[in-house]
Amino acid sequence: MSVEVFYTAHEHPQLHATKPPGPSVRCILRYLAEGGANFVFHILPRTSDDALPPALEGRVLRLRKDLPHVQSAKEQAEAFQRHFEPLFAPQHLVQPELIALGDGFSSLVNASLATLERSAGRDTHSLSRHETYALLLADMTFNAPCTGFQMKPKWLAPSPSAPHGAKRCRTCALRASRVAHQRSTPTDAQAFCPLMLVSDDPRDRETAAKMVTSCPVLQRFLTYDASSLFSTLREGQTTFDPRGVLALTADASAVNELCKAMTLRDCTLFARHTSHGPVEARLADLDLKQPAKLPQWAKIEQTLTEQGWYTNEEDPQHWSRELMCQLSRGVKGV
Ligand SMILES: [Zn+2]
**Cα pseudo-dihedral 196, 201, 206, 211, rounded to 10:** -20
Which stretches of 35-76 are assigned E, i.e. beta strand? 38-45, 59-64
Give the burial string for 208-226 (b: 16+ CB within 10 Å, else e): bbebbbebeebbebbbeeb
CA angle 154, 78, 61 (to 5 degrees): 75
φ/ψ bin of 122: left (φ > 0), alpha (ψ from -120 to 50), beta (otherwise): alpha
Tell which of 138, 167, 191 closes a domain: 138
**Are 133 and 150 found together in one domain?**
no
- The alpha carbon of 323 and the centre of ligand 1 are apart by a number of angstroms equal to 9
273-330, pLDDT tens digit by residue?
Answer: 877 778 999 999 999 999 999 999 999 999 999 999 999 999 998 898 999 999 998 7
- Taking the centre of ligand 1 as the mean of its atom positions, its distance from the CA of residue 22, in whole angstroms, is 57
Each residue of 80-128: pLDDT tens digit? Answer: 999 999 999 999 999 999 999 999 999 999 999 988 888 777 878 899 8
CA 153 – ligand 1 centroid, Å: 11
From ligand 1's centre to the CA of 325, what distance in Å? 4
Number of Cβ within 10 Å of residue 156's Cβ equals 26
* pLDDT at residue 186 greater than cutoff 70: no
Distance 21 CA to ligand 1 centre (A): 57
* Whether residue 173 is found in the same domain as residue 121: no
Q: Is 21 exposed, middle or buried (0-12, 13-18, 19+ CB in 10 A)?
A: exposed
What's the gap in Å between 250 CA and the centre of ligand 1?
A: 29
Residues 58 and 138: beta-carbon distance below 8 Å: yes
On whether both 175 and 87 belong to a single domain, the answer is: no
Q: Are residues 80 and 108 in the same domain?
A: yes
Asked if the structure places residue 127 within a domain, the reply is yes
Say yes or no to pLDDT of 263 above 70: yes
CATH of the domain at 120: 3.30.200.110
Q: Residue 179: inside a domain, yes or no? A: yes
Q: Are residues 176 and 209 in the same domain?
A: yes
The Å distance, Cα 44 to ligand 1 centre, comes to 41
As for how many domains the chain has, the answer is 2
Give the residue numbers spanning the domain of 8: 2-138
pLDDT, tens digit (0-9, with 9 covering 90-100), for 113-172:
988 888 777 878 899 889 999 999 999 888 775 689 999 999 999 999 999 999 999 999
Spell out a b/e string for 5-16, using b for 16 or more CB atoms within 10 Å of the CB, else e. Answer: bbbbeeeebbbb
Element (H, E) at 258: helix 252-264
Tell me how far the alpha carbon of residue 172 lies from the centroid of ligand 1, in angstroms. Answer: 4
Cα separation of 229 and 88, whole Å? 8
149 and 134 in a common domain: no
Ligand 1 center from residue 262 Cα (angstroms) = 17
Domain termination site, one of 138, 173, 192: 138
d(CA 308, CA 322): 12
Decide: 297 and 262 in contact? Cβ < 8 Å. yes
**The last residue of a domain, from among 105, 138, 171:** 138
In percent, the amount of the chain with pLDDT more than 90 equals: 78
Edge-to-edge strands, sheet with 148-151:
148-151, 268-272, 280-284
Rounded CA-CA distance 24/7 in Å is 5
Q: Is residue 334 part of a domain?
A: no
Do 122 and 204 have their domain in common?
no
Do 187 and 214 fall into the same domain? yes
